[in-house]
Structure 1
Amino acid sequence: MPRLLDWLRWPRLPRPHLPRLLPYSLQGRLILLMAVGVLLTQLAGNVIWAAQRRAEARDEARTAAQHLAHSASSAVRFFLSLPPNYRPLIIQQFREMGGTRFLVNINRTPVPVRALAGQELTDAALAQLRATLKEDLPNTPDLRIAFAWPERLAVDDDGTMLADLPETWTQHILLARPAPVLLIQVELDPGHWLYLATLMPNPYFLESGNPLTHDRLLLQALSLAAVLLVTVLVVRWITRPLAALSEAATAFGKGENPPALPETGSREFVTTARAFQDMRERIQRYMEDRERLFVSISHDLRTPIMRLKLRTELLDEDELRNEFHDDIDELDMMVKGALQTVKDSDIHENATEVRLDALLGRMVRDAQLAGHEVTFVPSGLTVTAKPLALKRAIGNLLNNGLHYGERVELAVRETDHNIEIVVRDHGPGVPEEALASLAQPYVRLEHGRNQNGSGMGLGLSIARGIVQAHGGELVLGNAADGGFQATIVLPGGVFSPG
C-alpha cells in the first residue's frame, strides 16, 4: 500500500538557490502578492497625483507671484513719485497704520539675504516675479528678489532682524508657523534702496507641492491595512478547503481512513474533492483486490505444491529427488514471502502515542536474552505511530543487524522537525553500489546468503513500506567508522517529549 500511495504525498520540489523572497504556503503568497499589488497601485497613483499636484502648484505660484509683482510695482512707482525727504514720513505712517501688505523700509545699500535655494516652487515664483516687474518697471536699474525664512531675515543695512521689530509692524509677516518671506529690493536712486517684504497669498505654498503629507500617508496606510485585512480573511476562506484536501491526502497516504471531504465551496474545489474521493475509493478497492488475489494465489498453490512434493518422493534417483525438493522448497518460500509482504505492509491498526524507550527496551531485552549484544540509550521521546507496524519495521532492521553484524546499537534522536531511530551494526557493511537496490524485495547480497540461508530478502522492503506508510523515510548507508546503519526518519509534528 505505501508504495502505491507514494504519489499522494506532497512532492519535495527543488528549491532555487535564491533568497527566500516568497513564503512557501499558498495563503502567504496570495497575501504577499495582494499587498504588493496594492502598494504598486498606490505608488502609481501617487506618482500621477504628485505630477498633477506639482503642475497645479506651479501654476498657482506663478499666478500669485504675478499679482504680487503688480502690487510691488505699484508701490515702487508710488515711492518713485515722492520726493526723497517724504519717503520716511510715508513709511512711518504705514507702520503706525498697520495692516499694510508690505513691510517697507529705505536702506542705503541692499540688505544681504540668505535666500532659499533648490525649491521648485520658489524658483517658478521668482521667475514670474522678475518677468512681471521687468515688464512693469522697465527703467528700474537694479532689482533683487529672493525668498528667505523670517528668523534669518534682516530688514536694514544696520543688521536689524525682522524678529526684532514691533509686533504691529510685522503682524502679517511673522506667523505662528514660519513661512517663507518674499523680499523685493529696488534701487530708487543712488543711495536709496526700497525694501519690500511680504508673504505669498498662500503663505505655506511650498507644502502644496509635497504629495507625501502626513494626512495622505495616514489615509493610504489605513486603506492598505483595510485591504490586507480583507485579503487575509478572503485568502483563508479560499485556502481552507485546500488545507483539508492536503490533510486528507496525507492521512490516506499513511494508510488511515479520513472522513469524506465536504462538497462545499467553489466549483473547482467541489470537483477536486469528488475526484479525490473517487480516486481514494478506486485505490482502496485495488488494495483489497490485491490482498485477496495474493491470499487466493497462496491458497491455490499449496495443493499443487503438496502434490509435487508427494510425487517427488516417488522418484527413484536420490540426486534427482533432492533437486526437485530444493526447487519446490524455493517455490514454497517465494509464495509465503509474497503473502508475508502483503500482510506485513498493510497492518490495519490505529495510530497512537508510542513511548520509544519502552518499545525499544523490550526488543533489546529479548535480543539480550537470546545471547546477542545490543545496546540502547533511553531518549525520553514519544512518537505517534501504529505500534505493531513500527515494532515490526524496527524488528526487521534489528534482525538484519544481528544476522550480519557482531553487535547492534540502537539510538533515538530529535532533529529539526523530525525524529530518527537509528539501528547500527558492526558488520562488514554494504558495497556503495548496492545501497540503491538494497530495500527492493528479494534482493540479497552474497555475504547475506552465506550467513542467513533461510532469508528471503524481504525485511528491508517491509520495513521501508511501513515507514513510508507513516509518512517517513528509511535511510540506508554505511557508518563512518564501519558497519551498516539504517535510520528511520519520521516527519515533524508527530513527536513530543515523553
Structure 2
Amino acid sequence: MSLEDWRPANAGDEVTGEPLQRASWLNRTFNRLLPGSLLARLALVMMLGVLASQALGTWFWAAQLRTRSNEEAREAARYIGYSAASALRFFQSLPANYRPLLIEQLREMGGTRFFVNVNHGPVDIKSVVDAPLAQSVVETLTTTLTQELPRLSTYRIGFAWPDELAVTEDGVTLSDLPDSWVQHTLLVKPRPAPILVIQAELESGDWLYLATLMPNPYFLDQANPLTRDKLALQLATLVAVLLLSLWVVRWLTRPLALLSEAAEAFGQGANPHLPESGSREYLNTAHAFHAMQARINRYLEDRERLFASISHDLRTPITRLKLRTEMLDDEHDRREFHEDLDELEMMVKGALQSVKDTDIHENRTAIRLDTLLNRLSEDAKMGGFEVAVAAAPITVLGKPLALKRAISNLIDNAIKYGQRAEVLLSNRDGETELTIRDYGPGVAEEALPTLFQPYVRLEHGKQTNQGGMGLGLGIARDIIHAHGGELTLANHPQGGLQVTITLPRTASMG
C-alpha cells in the first residue's frame, strides 16, 4: 500500500474546505461588528480589556472578601457562644432569687460583655437582619451553645436594631433604660450597630436574656463588598483608565492619520511634508514617504522632459520627410505619404498635449464651480451652441486651470456630438456632483469603457468632428482623479450620453 492510498480521500478537503470557510466567515463577522477606523478598533479593544480585567478583579476581590468575612464572623460567633455558655452556666448555678440581685450589681459596676436580664418568658424580638452573614452567625452560635450546653435545648437567637429592641416581656425597650445600663455594653450612638440577642430557658423556668455586640459591630458592612461608595470609586478609576487609554490610542494612531492625509494630498497633486517628530517607527515611515515623494516627483519631471524632447526631435525628421514627399512624381503616392506623416505628427502632438494637460503645475485654491460653469456656458452660447446650466453655489478646493480644462472638454464634447448640453451641479450625500448631458445618439453599452482609451473614436464622433484625436475624455478623467474624484459615463434613459463627476467632501468647502 502506498502513502497516497493510505491517506483519506477527503483529507485535503478537510484542511482547505470547511475550516477555511469557517475562518473566513468569522473574519467577515468580526469586520462587520468592529468599527472601521484603527483608532476606534484599538479604543474598543482597550475598553473591553479594561472592563473585563476590572470586572474580573472586582469579582475575585469580592469573593475573597466575602469568604474572609464569613470565616471571621463564624469565629466571632464561636467566641461569643463560649462566653454565652459560661454566663448561662453561671446563672444556672445561682438560686433563682439571687439572679436579679446579681444582675443589678453588675449594672452598677459598669456591666459585662452582655446586657443581662431575667424574664419569666421569651421576649418577642423583631429581627430585621436577614443577611446571609447574620444567618451564618446565628447557625454557628446555635451549634456552639448546643455543644457546650446540651441540656439546654431551647434557644432563641437573632439580631435587632437598638431602637426596636425589647428587653422584657412586658414591652420595655432598650431606649427606656438608663444610659448607664447599656453605654458600656451596647453601641447605640451615633451610628447604631445590630445587637445580637440570645435567650435561653434555664431549668428553673426563667429565661435568661443576653444582648451583646459582635467583636466587629459593623460586620454586616462586609457582607456586601460592592457598596455604593466602593462602586463609585471603581467607576471613577475605570473612567480615568479609559480616558487615559483613549488618549494614548489617539496619540499612537495620529501619525497614521497624518500619513493617510499626506498620501491623499500627494495623490491629488500637492507636496505635503510630514512632521519629523515622534516615535522611531513613525520617523522611519516619514523618511520613507518623503523619499518616495521625491522619486515620484523626479519621475514626473523626467517624463515631461522626455515627451518634450521626443516631440521636438520628431518634428525635424517629419518635416524633412514632408519635403521629400513633395518631390515624388506619383500624385497618389505623394498623397498617401502626406496622410501618414500628418497622422504621425498628430499622434506626437496628442501625446505631448496629453502629458501637458494632466501635469498642470499650479497651486490649489478655492474655486466657485457655479461661476465657472456659467462662464463656460456663456462662451458656448457666443459660439452659437445651447448650454443650460442649473448650479448650486458650491466652492471646491482644486487647481483652477486643470478643472476648467477638464469641464470645458466635457462640455465641448457634449455640444459637438450632441447638439446641446444640460449641466447640473449639486451636493449629494456630502459630495459635489456635476452631471453633463448631451442630446446625441448615445453610445453602445459595450463601447463605454473604451472611450477613455487614447485615440479611440466612434464613427459618430469621426463624422461630427474630424479634427479630434480621442484624448479629451482620458485627460478629463485623469484631472478629476488627481482631485480625488470620479468620472463615469452612462446613457441617459431619455437619450444621449451623460457624464457624471463626483468630488469628495474633502475637496468641498461649502
Q: TM-score, normalised by structure 1?
A: 0.84
Deviation, 1:340, is 1.2
1:456 equivalent among 449, 464, 469 = 469
Letter in 2 for 1:198: T
Q: Deviations over 1:379-401 (max 9, x none)?
A: 22211111100101111221222
Which residue does 1:207 correspond to in 2?
Answer: 221
Question: Matched residues in 1 for 2:90 and 2:445: separation?
Answer: 107
2:311 equivalent among 298, 302, 309 = 298
Farther off after superposition, 312-321 or 330-339 = 312-321
Which residue does 1:330 correspond to in 2?
Answer: 343
Question: Matched residues in 1 for 2:495 and 2:176: separation?
Answer: 94
What SS does the aligned partner of 1:456 have? coil
Contact conserved, 1:264 with 1:270, CA < 8 A, in 2? yes
Alignment of 1:170-189 (within 5 A): 171=183, 172-189=186-203
Farther off after superposition, 346-355 or 300-309 = 300-309
Contact conserved, 2:125 with 2:158, CA < 8 A, in 1? no
Which residue does 2:73 correspond to in 1?
Answer: 61
Contact conserved, 2:34 with 2:41, CA < 8 A, in 1? no
Deviation, 1:364, is 0.8
Letter in 1 for 2:138: L
What SS does the aligned partner of 2:202 have? strand
2:60 equivalent among 31, 48, 67 = 48
Deviation, 1:291, is 1.2
Deviation, 1:342, is 0.4
Contact conserved, 2:96 with 2:204, CA < 8 A, in 1? no
Judged with a 3 Å threshold, the aligned counterparts in structure 2 of structure 1 residues 130 and 449 are, in CA distance, closer, same or farther, namely farther
Judged with a 3 Å threshold, the aligned counterparts in structure 2 of structure 1 residues 86 and 430 are, in CA distance, closer, same or farther, namely farther
Letter in 1 for 2:434: I
Judged with a 3 Å threshold, the aligned counterparts in structure 2 of structure 1 residues 149 and 413 are, in CA distance, closer, same or farther, namely farther
Question: Matched residues in 1 for 2:288 and 2:110: separation?
Answer: 88
What SS does the aligned partner of 1:377 have? strand
Which residue does 2:92 correspond to in 1?
Answer: 80
Question: Matched residues in 2 for 1:199 and 1:413: separation?
Answer: 81
Letter in 2 for 1:147: F
Which residue does 2:483 correspond to in 1?
Answer: 470
Higher helix share: 2
Judged with a 3 Å threshold, the aligned counterparts in structure 2 of structure 1 residues 441 and 146 are, in CA distance, closer, same or farther, namely farther
Judged with a 3 Å threshold, the aligned counterparts in structure 2 of structure 1 residues 94 and 111 are, in CA distance, closer, same or farther, namely farther
Which residue does 1:133 correspond to in 2?
Answer: 145
What SS does the aligned partner of 1:495 have? coil
| Bigger RCO (CA 8 Å, 6+ sep) | 1
Farther off after superposition, 363-372 or 73-82 = 73-82
Is 2:368 aligned against 1:355? yes
Letter in 1 for 2:91: F
Judged with a 3 Å threshold, the aligned counterparts in structure 2 of structure 1 residues 130 and 404 are, in CA distance, closer, same or farther, namely farther
Contact conserved, 1:114 with 1:152, CA < 8 A, in 2? no
Farther off after superposition, 469-478 or 332-341 = 469-478
Is 2:398 aligned against 1:398? no
What SS does the aligned partner of 1:127 have? helix
Which residue does 2:433 correspond to in 1?
Answer: 420
| Unaligned residue ranges in structure 1 (runs of 5+) | 1-13
Question: Matched residues in 2 for 1:314 and 1:252: separation?
Answer: 53
Farther off after superposition, 289-298 or 482-491 = 482-491
Question: Matched residues in 2 for 1:437 and 1:190: separation?
Answer: 116
Which residue does 1:3 correspond to in 2?
Answer: none
Contact conserved, 2:276 with 2:286, CA < 8 A, in 1? yes
Contact conserved, 2:122 with 2:199, CA < 8 A, in 1? no
Q: Deviations over 1:145-168 (max 9, x none)?
A: 333455665555566666666655
Deviation, 1:76, is 2.1
Farther off after superposition, 216-225 or 43-52 = 216-225
Is 2:202 aligned against 1:194? no
Question: Matched residues in 1 for 2:170 and 2:451: separation?
Answer: 102
| Unaligned residue ranges in structure 2 (runs of 5+) | 1-26
Farther off after superposition, 280-289 or 179-188 = 179-188
Contact conserved, 1:185 with 1:194, CA < 8 A, in 2? yes
Letter in 2 for 1:24: S
Deviation, 1:308, is 3.8
Contact conserved, 1:35 with 1:224, CA < 8 A, in 2? no
Which residue does 1:380 correspond to in 2?
Answer: 393
Farther off after superposition, 405-414 or 67-76 = 405-414
Judged with a 3 Å threshold, the aligned counterparts in structure 2 of structure 1 residues 407 and 150 are, in CA distance, closer, same or farther, namely farther
Deviation, 1:363, is 0.3
Deviation, 1:368, is 1.6
Judged with a 3 Å threshold, the aligned counterparts in structure 2 of structure 1 residues 122 and 282 are, in CA distance, closer, same or farther, namely same
Q: Deviations over 1:34-68 (max 9, x none)?
A: 44444433333323322332222122111211111
1:143 equivalent among 151, 155, 161 = 155
Alignment of 1:158-307 (within 5 A): 171=183, 172-189=186-203, 192-228=206-242, 230-231=244-245, 234-235=248-249, 237-259=251-273, 261-307=274-320
Question: Matched residues in 1 for 2:439 and 2:158: separation?
Answer: 93
Give % identity.
57
Which residue does 1:371 correspond to in 2?
Answer: 384
